[in-house]
Amino acid sequence: MVSSEASLHYIRQNDMEASKKKKKKTLKVIDNQTGQELTLELHNNTIRAVDLAKLGVTVYDPGFLNTASCISRITYIDGDKGILRYRGYPIEELAEKSTFMEVSFLLLYGELPTSRELEHFTHRVLRHTFLKQSLVDIIKATPKESHPMGLLVSMLAAEGTLYPDANPAISGGDVYNSPRVREKQILRLLGTMPTLAAFVYRHKMGRPFNYPAYGGSRSYTENFMYMLDSMEDPSYRPNATLVKALDTLFVLHADHELNCSTAAVRHLTSSDVDVFTAFSGAAGALYGPLHGGANEAVLRMLERIGSVEKVPAFIEAVKNRKARLMGFGHRVYKNYDPRARIVRKLAYQVFEICGKDPLIEIATTLEEHALKDNYFIERKLYPNVDFYSGLIYKAMGFPTDFFTILFAIGRTPGWLAHWLEYLDDPDKKIARPKQNYLGSDQRSYIPLTQRNSSVKYSTEYVSPAEKRRVNGFAVAKM
Ligand SMILES: CC(C)(COP(=O)(O)OP(=O)(O)OC[C@H]1O[C@@H](n2cnc3c(N)ncnc32)[C@H](O)[C@@H]1OP(=O)(O)O)[C@@H](O)C(=O)NCCC(=O)NCCS
């Protein structure tokens, strides 16, 4: 441990001598306690944390506020300027001109596909949309009111058990060295994700499942909507504007660099676990209301507010820390989330077909109030992608608890792109953060009869139902 007086001076210097020769940027660190100096190399404004270990120093960074855990070439975000680019392409252009399949290819392979590549890739993905019967049976066996994200977490883990030949736990840690095995997992995950979601939806509605339309001219998103909505009519075609809107939402959600769920994919993959289990963990992270679950939380918040007149009181409650303005604020964006602008526009296109959701008035009034209020201005809190996406989903008639699974479909290519990038990362190592231990020093075991309770464990938390049960008794078999 470094004592409280100890401090480190970080001197950012462009080492002139070195820069003349090699143009190297360095950072000098001085331990004021010992006088020891360390010159660290800076690459892209980043030092290697392990270099600090030479001074016996550890970096404490809960929530990873300033820690880069990988080198990535997939997605660029400038949170202050509100910039988001996939593989260099601005999100605004991709949302307007591209499609989800094209963006998936871009994220996975680094370049936009040629028309032949796109056709081949889409065809291959759509050839992997069928669910194995055991997965269908699991969905059927779950209660209709199960949360779709809870089901997705379980279904992805279950799906992983179906391919032992592609599971490092069974077939060895090098199984993913084969490009064919990798490709197959990509197709399986991209292909089955919408089918899982659609089957969960139909199960919830108490309707028979629509199996994916095989081949033909349906796009990925059209096929998904077909599975959701066809009343056993193979010729059913969903509305083209709604297909485009949902496809654009998938594009907007496709990647967002090291968010909580994508970081989870890398974290789990670092143990060599199979990609389905890594995805199950990622889906679990996405489920949380501070991450992908925020779109659902926004809707519930708008419903609780109930009317435009109640917006000022709600804003006051947020400022007094009695409530949180869901769909606002972001770890990275300290400006308007560029995706939120696009989603807001998209919402009105959907309203023209499905009707305007009255909650939009509450949402826009909340936004107006928040954007001119000092609490939000000082903290740079702006609407994020989830602020309006839930309203589109609601206007399209999706149940509130279904929103995050739509996010998960969109995020699939991003998770996969990070999985691929991680597999080839020369710096990959099992993720194992250090801790800063402040617990007890060594002490001796106390016999049971000599202990005094001093911990926060209560013996009071017993429900009336449990009391009723424990007051009964079993008649032992003679
Ligand atoms: C996204 C989020 C988790 C980022 O968290 P973070 O980077 O750790 O930021 P912090 O929680 O430290 O927030 C910084 C300050 O802004 C406040 N703040 C952040 N988001 C806020 C929100 N949505 N409503 C009210 N206050 C908020 C915090 O209370 C904190 O204030 P303080 O410094 O006075 O204590 C956070 O903004 C949030 O909870 N937003 C709502 C959930 C959401 O929409 N998530 C989807 C993200 S795409």
Q: Where are the beta strands (DSSP E) in 292-433?
A: none
Q: Which of 276, 57, 11, 221 is nearest to 212 (CA)?
A: 221
User: Does residue 20 carry a pLDDT above 60?
Assistant: no
The reply to whether 144 falls in a domain is yes
Query: How many domains would you assign to the chain?
Result: 1
Is residue 17 helix, strand or coil? helix
Ligand 1 nearest atom to the CA of residue 327, by list position:
44
* Residue 102 counted as domain residue: yes
Could you give the CA distance from residue 368 to residue 370 in angstroms, rounded to a whole number?
6
Active site residue 128: no
Report the pLDDT averaged over residues 140-147. Answer: 95
Q: Is the shortest distance between the CB of 328 and ligand 1 below 6 Å?
A: yes
pLDDT at 391 over 80: yes
Rounded to whole angstroms, the Cα distance separating 296 from 391 reads: 9
Q: 265, 281 in Cβ contact below 8 A?
A: yes
Instruction: Identify whether 80 is a catalytic site residue.
Output: no
Stronger pLDDT, 459 or 298, i.e. the higher one: 298
What 63-68 contacts at long range (C-beta under 8 Å, 24+ apart), as own/partner pairs, is: 63/331, 64/258, 64/263, 65/331
Which among 297, 288, 299 is positioned nearest to 263, based on CA atoms?
288
Q: Is residue 252 part of a domain?
A: yes
- Please identify which of the residues 15, 386, 401, 418 carries the catalytic annotation: 386
> Which atom of ligand 1 is nearest the CA belonging to 292?
46
Average pLDDT, rounded, for the chain: 91
Coil, helix or strand at residue 380: coil
Does residue 200 lie in a domain region?
yes
What tokens appear for 396 in the block? 């399209």
Look up the CATH number of the domain holding residue 253: 1.10.580.10
| Overall average pLDDT of the 229-254 stretch | 95
**What is the model's pLDDT at position 3?**
36
The pTM is what?
0.89
Residue owning tokens 């809870």: 150
pLDDT at position 21 is 55
Residue 250 lies inside a defined structural domain of this protein? yes
Asked whether residue 200 carries a pLDDT value surpassing 50, the answer given is: yes
Considering the domain boundaries, does residue 247 fall inside one? yes
How far apart CA 347 and CA 360 sit, in angstroms, is 9
Report how far ligand 1's centroid is from the alpha carbon of 379 (Å).
9
Contact 200, 139 (CB under 8 A): yes
Q: Output the pLDDT for position 12.
A: 44
In a domain, 128, yes or no: yes
Q: What is the band of 1 on the pLDDT scale with cuts at 50, 70, 90? A: very low
Question: How does pLDDT run across 90-102, given as a tens digit for each residue?
Answer: 999 999 999 999 9
Is residue 266, in this structure, part of any structural domain at all? no
pLDDT of residue 17: 47
The answer to whether 261 and 291 have CB atoms below 8 angstroms apart is yes
Confidence of residue 16 (pLDDT cuts 50, 70, 90): very low
Domain span at residue 129 reads 77-258
| Annotated catalytic residue, options 330, 337, 357, 401 | 330
Residues 23-52 have a mean pLDDT of 92
Q: 342 and 252 in contact (C-beta within 8 Å)?
A: yes
Q: What percent of the chain has pLDDT over 70?
A: 94
Where residue 22 falls among pLDDT bands split at 50, 70, 90? low
* Ligand 1 atom closest to the CA of 328, numbered from 1: 23
pLDDT of residue 13: 44
Q: How far is CA 363 from CA 40, 109, 223, 295, 367, in A?
A: 48, 38, 31, 12, 6
Angle between helices 179-205 and 275-287 (to 10 degrees): 40
Of the candidates 125, 339, 349, 121, the residue with the CA atom closest to the CA atom of residue 244: 349
Q: What is the pLDDT of residue 215?
A: 63
Q: 265 with 419: CB under 8 angstroms?
A: yes
pLDDT 10s digits, 299-356: 999 999 999 999 999 999 999 999 999 999 998 999 889 999 999 899 989 999 999 8
**Which tens digit of pLDDT belongs to each residue from 150-187?**
999 999 999 999 999 999 999 998 999 999 999 999 99
List, in sequence order, every residue forming a beta bridge with 11; answer none if it has no partner.
28
Q: Does residue 199 line the site of ligand 1, with CB under 6 A?
A: no
